[in-house]
Amino acid sequence: MTTHQINRRSWLQTSATALTSVAAWKSPIIANAAAMRTNAKACILLWMGGGPSQFETFSPKPDHANGGETTVTSTAVSGIQISSQLPATAAAMKDLCLIRSVHGPEGSHPRASYVSHTGYLPTASVKHPTIGAHVVQHIGDQESELPSFVHIGRSRGVFSAGLLGVEYDPFILNSANQMPANTELSTSRDRYVRRLGLLENLEDDGSTEGSRQFVKANRNLYGKASRLVLSPQMKTFDITQERSDVRSSYGDGNFAAGCLMARRLVEAGVTFIEVASSNWDTHFDNASRTDTLCQEVDKPYAQLLADLKQRGLLDTTLVIWMGEFGRTPRINSRAGRDHYPRAFNVALAGAGVQGGQVIGATDASGNNITDQPVSVNDLLTTIYDALGIDSFHENISRIGRPIQIVEDGEIIDGVF
Amino acid sequence: MNCYSLSLRHTMTKHLNLVFFLAVWCFSPLVSFAQSPIEIAQKIDELLVSETIVSQTNICDDETFLRRAFFDIVGQPPSLEDVLVYGLEPSVNKRSLLIEFLLTDKTYGANWSRYWRDVIMFRRTNDQSLLGVAALESYLTDALNNGVGWDRIAVDFITAKGDIREDGRAVFIAAQQGRPEETVSEISRIFLGIQIQCAQCHDHPTDRWKQEQFHELVAFFPRVALRPQQEPRSFVVTATDFVGRRRTANANNRFVGTLEHTMPNLAEPTQPGQVMTPKFFVSGQTLPAGTSDAVRRDSLARWITSPDNPWFAKAVTNRVWAELVGEGFYEPVDDIGPDRTPSAPKTMDYLATEFTLSGYDLKWLMQTIMSTQAYQRSSLDRRNYDQIPFQANTIQPLRSDQLFDSMMSVFEISDAGSEGAGQGPRRPQSPRNVFADVFGYDPNDPRGDVTVSIPQSLAMMNSTFINEQIQARQGTMLSRLLQEVQSDRAAVQELYLRVFSRRPNRKELNTSLAYIIQVANRGESFEDLLWALLNSAEFKTRR
């Protein structure tokens, strides 16, 4: 462990800036409010890597040239319309809180992805922890035999626990259709256990006075790793154990398998799961490519919400649908849309989020936010709040700087 | 002891032949340095004793020294032959001879180029710069092997231009996408050990730097830009002296320079900020507005590497000392000034001054530090903060490349030929890079904070690659050993020598032999033994 709860008083004594004193004043109130309301236990982040087009998903503009050919569909909530490319999601609208007015500070993929996951611009001096790392540090089950933070799918950037240390790094599944790397025993179970015993005995024989720390850390680690691979819970990662009708209800493809795996993991007590969908970077042929991507995502997304609800898990699980930015209102000469961080969409569900509503709006052209702008940091603050985590909590960087989980974020009005 | 059977067999000594070296040395003069490293080392030990009250002078044994020196200079363990030959060598100054010899081996440059690559690349804010990693390694390897001074290397990085796949010097700037704020922060952090970027948004809370001084440093770099290039896909570090294009935060992946740097007005972000002129915060030297990019960067590089700037020598001296002795005078190694107190200030200053006089010669620095008793002491776990420093050499986790090369060496295989793979973010990965994804750590971080992870132990325990190599079937190191050494006792001893460069102690030998009897299958029991040795803490550390 490399972080420490900051002693706020000593920090304030050395540097009483307005910002930190506000933080110190506000923090307990917000933390208590969150703790009273939420009993959230888990979070699933559905990451739309590349930046999904808001016009072809949650903010269609059929009456404006910028809207292109995309048509709209009514949803389960009267008055709310979304793109007709998302029929299953439209039917699940009662559980969804759409935010149509998110704006971010960055237009390049890696930088915007970093901001969306950490709340900070990338710097060389501090590696900021990703959402999942903060979440498992605060509400993860330390006794769990399964890793608390699982990332499913190859995406462009997998962000780390940074200054929180590798203990909170994601456990990566390249695909939900395969068992995680290096967890299948290379020998019989008996021989594996026998080998572990030999390792332990030889380390006892060989360790000298001066090398106990490393031997102890190694033993601790091998204990955890071998408990994982020998755990009966490892079968959670085996998606073929799921009934075939349940598998087909999620649809086909890696993202569908990822959503089903996420539900299996939540059921098994895993705290944070990120499921990555990629290829939303539609600089050309935006409409047709987004259509394909929507087909990959629509059914699994809606089924995940329905399945969690049916199992009584949606009240305690926050489900986030987001990408790093949106796409330009103007359609470019290659029938594509480029990067647009000034107005994009995020959808939240579960964990006390009021479904069946839309927050924020853009004008008819989609260029400008006209109602309730939501910064990425507001969004992150709201996510942490839904999970009962104090976003003013400070971790200490390697060189002793206090780093708040999120700076300058406000809880979005009306989400809860 | 079981030396006899060894010479009968061809062992793959990858790069060293100590027999040759020791024989040749008898007839050849020593390389001579301006300042004799051994004399300087003695003074360092005297100073260190006076400053830290070193209570013990327990010097490590030759086996430990050999393995430590190999890891520290060439990044891999000694071969079985090296261990045996070195043990038999009677020369009293064989430690000095070993250090000198290893510093002439080309693997020295490769090992330390990987260290500096990690120092730079672990802090990248731009993954596209990964395209230039092979060129960066190649530049550093040559520079280090050829004895290029640290000042020249710093100048090369600060003034670099060009295609990052062709010229590794440009990768330093590309790692920060050419963004002036991040680039100068890294220059200051790596070459001066000063974390001035904390003053980016406000006056530094604990140091003396002011926000203005940070932005005056940024003003050396506004004209730098990173341009993408197609066919072949790459990125080029350039400078714009005539066209001052506006920098836009939201442009698609592009980053272009401006003619002058503007300090943002943080109180009123919508108001135009203040145009800054270049000024180096250490010396106060300045340049006027309108100065060309070439003059700006040449001047900064010259001022940073000037012998009048003490931070330049201190930063690298402290880093190399920390890598070798296991603990820096300052920790973390990249946060040394100006208001930090080193654990042995006189020793630190003396070593840094002598390093400056050597012409910033990194081989001289290595040889000097490794000649000290401080380096040659027995190793211990990292001390607690309330204990006196430098009572022992500190045990360190191996860096990913060192661990990978150790395995290659134990298995008697090589990854030569696969180095070309995996140079870009989306190319097929070489085995070394796959390994680094799991085992790599940021060498800038205090070594005590480097923690081991579950995926690391899963890879060591269960990966197909390792489990194939530890099998006793035809073609592996283990099969050759078992075939040629009939006695179990001798085979256990040789396996220990191969994996740990030492013999087993009595208890280890007895445990191993008892296990072999219990399993009652020679091949299987030795596979398990090799598995256990590779998975032990000792294999993964340098002590």
- Average pLDDT (B170-187) is 95
Helix (H) or strand (E) holding B393: strand B393-394
Chain A hits for B120, Cβ within 8 Å: none
The strand pair at A42-48 and A357-359 is best described as unpaired
SS3 B225: strand
Instruction: Check residue B18 and give its pLDDT.
Output: 55
Q: Is the pLDDT of residue A205 over 90?
A: yes
Contact status of B55 with chain A (Cβ, < 8 Å): no
Pick the closest to residue B269 from A32, A408, A356, A321 (CA basis). Answer: A408
Chain B hits for A3, Cβ within 8 Å: none
Chain B hits for A122, Cβ within 8 Å: 125
Residues in chain A: 416
Q: Six-digit token pair at B205?
A: 């809370």
Instruction: Check residue B56 and give its pLDDT.
Output: 65
A182 to B511: CB separation less than 8 angstroms, yes or no: no
Q: Is the pLDDT of residue B243 over 70?
A: no
Could you give the CA distance from residue B61 to residue A290 in angstroms, rounded to a whole number? 66
Greater model confidence, A13 or B446 = B446
Instruction: Check residue B537 and give its pLDDT.
Output: 94
Of A14, A108, A225, nearest to B206 by CB-CB distance is A14
Could you give the CA distance from residue A243 to residue A324 in angstroms, rounded to a whole number? 34
Please name the residues in contact with A17: beta carbons below 8 A apart, sequence gap of 6 or more.
Answer: B202
Pick from A291-305, B236-250, B387-401 the range whose average pLDDT is largest. Answer: A291-305
Quote the minimal CA–CA distance from A351 to chain B in Å: 30
Instruction: Check residue B60 and give its pLDDT.
Output: 95
Quote the minimal CA–CA distance from A72 to chain B in Å: 29
B395 to A210: CB separation less than 8 angstroms, yes or no: yes
- Average pLDDT (A104-119) is 92
Contact status of B303 with chain A (Cβ, < 8 Å): no
Q: What is the DSSP letter of B389?
A: T
3-state DSSP percent of chain B in helix, strand and coil, to 5? 50, 5, 40
Enter the ipTM: 0.90
- Average pLDDT (B112-117) is 98
**Residues B59-84: b if buried by 16+ CB within 10 A, e if exposed:** ebeebbbbbbbbbbbbbbbbbbbbbb
pLDDT tens string B481-496: 999 999 999 999 999 9
CB A396 within 8 A of CB A381: no
Please name the residues in contact with B17: beta carbons below 8 A apart, sequence gap of 6 or more.
Answer: B81
A182 to B529: CB separation less than 8 angstroms, yes or no: no
How many Cβ pairs closer than 8 A exist between chain A and B? 185
A186 to B464: CB separation less than 8 angstroms, yes or no: yes
**Minimal Cα distance from B251: which residue of A?**
A107
Residue B374: C-alpha distances to residues B93, B314, B325 (Å): 17, 18, 7
Chain A hits for B519, Cβ within 8 Å: 194
Instruction: Check residue B206 and give its pLDDT.
Output: 57
A398 to B540: CB separation less than 8 angstroms, yes or no: no
B197 to A14: CB separation less than 8 angstroms, yes or no: no
pLDDT tens string A32-48: 555 555 689 999 999 99
Q: Environment class of residue B56 by beta-carbon count within 10 Å: exposed (0-12), middle (13-18) or buried (19+)?
A: exposed
Quote the minimal CA–CA distance from B359 to chain A in Å: 29
Residue B235: C-alpha distances to residues B113, B184, B253, B340 (Å): 21, 19, 12, 38
Quote the minimal CA–CA distance from B31 to chain A in Å: 36
B449 to A341: CB separation less than 8 angstroms, yes or no: no
Question: Beta strands of B240-290 (E only): which ranges?
Answer: 261-263, 274-276
Chain B hits for A401, Cβ within 8 Å: 198, 205
CB B282 within 8 A of CB B262: no
Would you place residue A167 in the very low, low, confident or very high pLDDT band (cuts 50, 70, 90)? confident
Contact status of B462 with chain A (Cβ, < 8 Å): yes
Greater model confidence, A401 or B84 = B84
Instruction: Check residue A16 and give its pLDDT.
Output: 35
Q: Is the pLDDT of residue B5 over 50?
A: no
Pick the closest to residue A263 from A325, A314, A228, A200 (CA basis). Answer: A314
Q: Environment class of residue A220 by beta-carbon count within 10 Å: exposed (0-12), middle (13-18) or buried (19+)?
A: exposed
Instruction: Check residue A9 and give its pLDDT.
Output: 32
Chain B hits for A165, Cβ within 8 Å: 449, 451
Quote the minimal CA–CA distance from A356 to chain B in Å: 32
The residue type found at A367 is: N
Q: Is the pLDDT of residue B450 over 80?
A: no
Would you place residue B272 in the very low, low, confident or very high pLDDT band (cuts 50, 70, 90)? confident
Greater model confidence, B97 or B211 = B97
**Minimal Cα distance from B502: which residue of A?**
A206
**Minimal Cα distance from B531: which residue of A?**
A195
Pick the closest to residue A388 from A6, A32, A3 (CA basis). Answer: A32
pTM of the model: 0.84
Chain A hits for B461, Cβ within 8 Å: 182, 186, 222, 225-226, 229
Chain center to CA of A175:
17
Give percent of chain A with pLDDT exceeding 70.
90
Chain B hits for A225, Cβ within 8 Å: 454, 457-458, 461
- Alpha helix segments (H runs only) across A181-230: 189-206, 212-230
A181 to B455: CB separation less than 8 angstroms, yes or no: yes
Chain B hits for A111, Cβ within 8 Å: 125
Instruction: Check residue A22 and give its pLDDT.
Output: 39
Instruction: Check residue A35 and give its pLDDT.
Output: 52
- Average pLDDT (A100-108) is 93
Sole residue written with tokens 């990408």: A323
- Average pLDDT (A150-170) is 85
Choose the mutation target among A214, A215, A332 for the interface with B, i.e. most B CBs under 10 Å.
A214
Instruction: Check residue B317 and give its pLDDT.
Output: 98
Please name the residues in contact with B218: beta carbons below 8 A apart, sequence gap of 6 or more.
Answer: B180, B181, B184, B261, B263, B276
Choose the mutation target among B461, B510, B534, B535 for the interface with A, i.e. most A CBs under 10 Å.
B461
**Residues B404-427: b if buried by 16+ CB within 10 A, e if exposed:** bbbbbbbbbeeeeeeeebbbbeee
**Minimal Cα distance from B505: which residue of A?**
A206
A213 to B127: CB separation less than 8 angstroms, yes or no: no
SS3 B423: coil
**Minimal Cα distance from B464: which residue of A?**
A186
